[in-house]
A and B are shown apart, each in its own frame.
Chain A
């Protein structure tokens, strides 16, 4: 790892001002992505600003039809939160599938979506549920937030403070886990909003990161059942292809995972 200077911020404002004073700073939350990258010397920030001890950035709250997860809340807390399990059980389930127990104790939702790995879990939930990303400057709809591989709408120094999810009528998640990395080989989140809209998002599939799957949304709108997806065909073009699976394999996984997710949603 290259030399760096560690700072522990106690408030969002302090973190923002520390960022402004450093030459090439990076925020550090759970460190479960940034530290491996720094160890490989693929990143060498002059300063790392630790957000994980900022009390205002930790917690899960349900109010009315909205579930809010503050950005530095670890995956383990989401997976075991009574509020999350009650409001959006599929979201708590998703958190319980991320990495392994040690990763879940440290890794956070803010770090996951800021990183926007094309095979990460949370982006699928944000997109399918129509969540809003809150930062220290503005609110960004999930639709606009994710902008391709490892790219988001965040500006330099902008801090995610929370993510708010509208509570859906129904939601389900199904993931084919890569057996070694545990990221999604492909995973699909399906949701039926309270106003009846159907939204389906797939992660681990597309070369441009998390995506909506319009063909499956249309099929589910006509008939909310796993069998409605039987006849849908997902084009393999634009999907990821690597030693773990071809794009044709992933195209089929999008269908199969969507069917399992609908079955799980009930």
Chain B
């Protein structure tokens, strides 16, 4: 057993877990943050993606101990109160989800893609091909991806506007 200290969605937490515990199980089973999903056992589906210190990672492919001392953001931590994050709003407006199983991982990966391209100075000009390519680690069984890609491109515009306003 080890004590793992994290900042999750801005709140300091400390959990006592077996060393073999994966980060995703700390989030779901110990902190009751069940928005982060587990969709595979091969690290391929991306349903478990969260942000660790600002980067999109697969929480099913990380021991809790590896995350000790880090700051983790989950799907529960991105809205501002009742106001959805622009990526969440764009998924809703563009019908970017059906069953919703892949959606938390899609949204966390998509936010990472948009932030990365904004910060790399491409002026937020994400194109469809880039979005499709960079969502390769997230599998959706329902939508056929078209509306997910539309949502990400829509959100890229909204996030740029939001960034400029700040």
Contact = CB atoms under 8 A, between A and B. Distances in A.
A95 B120 CA distance: 17
Interface in B1-56: 2, 18-20, 22, 41-44, 46, 49, 55-56
B143 interface: no
Which secondary structure dominates where chain B touches chain A? Answer: mixed
Contacts of A3: 18-20
Contacts of B58: 102-103, 106
Contacts of B68: 8
Interface in A38-54: 38-40, 48, 50, 52
B112 interface: yes
A100 interface: yes
Contacts of B90: none
A102 B109 contact: yes
A40 B116 CA distance: 33
B62 A102 contact: no
A31 B137 contact: no
B19 A31 contact: no
A106 B46 contact: no
A2 interface: yes
B127 interface: no
Interface residues on A, range: 20 to 34
A35 interface: yes
Nearest to B52: A105
- Secondary structure at chain A's binding surface: helix, strand, loop or mixed? mixed
Contacts of A150: none
Contacts of A208: none
B136 A182 contact: yes
Nearest to B120: A80
B66 A101 contact: no
A5 interface: yes
Given A2-B20, A3-B20, A48-B63, A103 B137 contact: yes
A6 B61 contact: no
A102 B56 contact: yes
B87 interface: no
A1 B20 contact: yes
Contacts of B120: 80
A31 B20 contact: no
Nearest to B134: A101
A180 B136 CA distance: 9
Interface string A97-138: 001111101100000000000000000000000000000000
Interface string B136-147: 111000000000
Given A1-B20, A2-B20, A102 B63 contact: no
A17 interface: no
A36 B56 contact: no
B65 interface: yes
A101 B112 CA distance: 9
Given A36-B43, A52-B66, A102-B49, A6 B136 contact: no
Interface of A: 1-6, 8, 28, 31-32, 35-36, 38-40, 48, 50, 52, 80, 99-103, 105-106, 180-182
7 pairs of A and B residues whose beta carbons are closest in the complex: A100-B137, A6-B65, A6-B19, A1-B20, A100-B136, A105-B55, A36-B43
Given A35-B63, A50-B66, 17 more contacts: A3-B19, A3-B20, A8-B66, A28-B63, A32-B43, A35-B43, A35-B61, A35-B62, A48-B63, A50-B65, A52-B66, A99-B137, A100-B46, A100-B137, A101-B56, A103-B58, A105-B56
